[in-house]
Amino acid sequence: MIIDTLERAHRYSQLHPLFAPAFAFLVSTDLKALTSGRRELDGQRLIASIDHVTGLGRDRARLEAHRRYIDIQVAFEGWDEIGWRPLGACQQVDEIYDETRDVGFWKDPPDSWIVLPLGRFAIFFPEDAHAPLAGIGAVRKAVMKIAVGG
């Protein structure tokens, strides 16, 4: 997991060939003008998912993890709170991994909580179980889905 500001996103371009275009989209696009939905930016390799939702609160947010995609999550209106726990420490399966949706869920509680105010992002790799939307209130956010294999 990585947490930083969008101003310093260029530091992470070397980690994956699709990080640079993902961050370029986040920085150069008027995210507030976009409607909710999924946008393929480079086929199934790079996807932008725009969400306009209400936070679930810590009690209702569930840990999830992906195998095929890395998530870059950023709130652009409101703020998000996200729980985190190493996937290897998750023991209580809530929903087994669904290959079609690329997600599995756990009942374990997060070890840490991250607040993502405007201008910050979090990167979650396949070994990072994360519980998004743990804050309360309206949030508009972008989730960049980056294929692990590029």
User: Which residues on neighbouring strands pair with residue 124, listed in sequence order?
Assistant: 71
pLDDT digits (tens, 9 = 90+) for 17-55: 999 999 999 999 999 999 999 999 999 999 999 999 999
Residue type at 14? Q
Residue 108 carries which side chain, given as an amino acid letter? D
CA 53/CA 139 separation, integer angstroms: 6
Task: Determine the distance from the C-alpha atom of residue 93 to the mean position of all C-alpha atoms in its chain, rounded to a whole number.
Answer: 20
Q: Over the stretch 63-110, which tens digit does the pLDDT of each residue have?
A: 999 999 999 999 999 999 999 999 999 999 999 999 999 999 999 999
CA dihedral 108, 136, 12, 16 (to 10 degrees): 60
**pLDDT confidence of residue 113:** 97
Alpha helices in the chain (DSSP H): 19-28
| Mean pLDDT for the stretch of residues 58-62 | 97
Mean pLDDT of the chain: 96
Around Cβ 43, how many Cβ atoms within 10 Å? 8
Q: For residue 111, give the DSSP letter.
A: S
pTM: 0.95
At 117, the pLDDT band (50, 70, 90 cuts) reads: very high
Burial of 8 (0-12, 13-18, 19+ CB in 10 A): exposed
Rounded distance between C-alpha atoms, residue 99 and residue 101, angstroms: 6
- Whole-number pLDDT of residue 115: 95
Cβ-based neighbour number of residue 67 at 10 Å: 13
Q: Which CATH class is domain 2-147?
A: mainly beta
| Banded model confidence at residue 149, pLDDT cuts 50, 70, 90 | confident
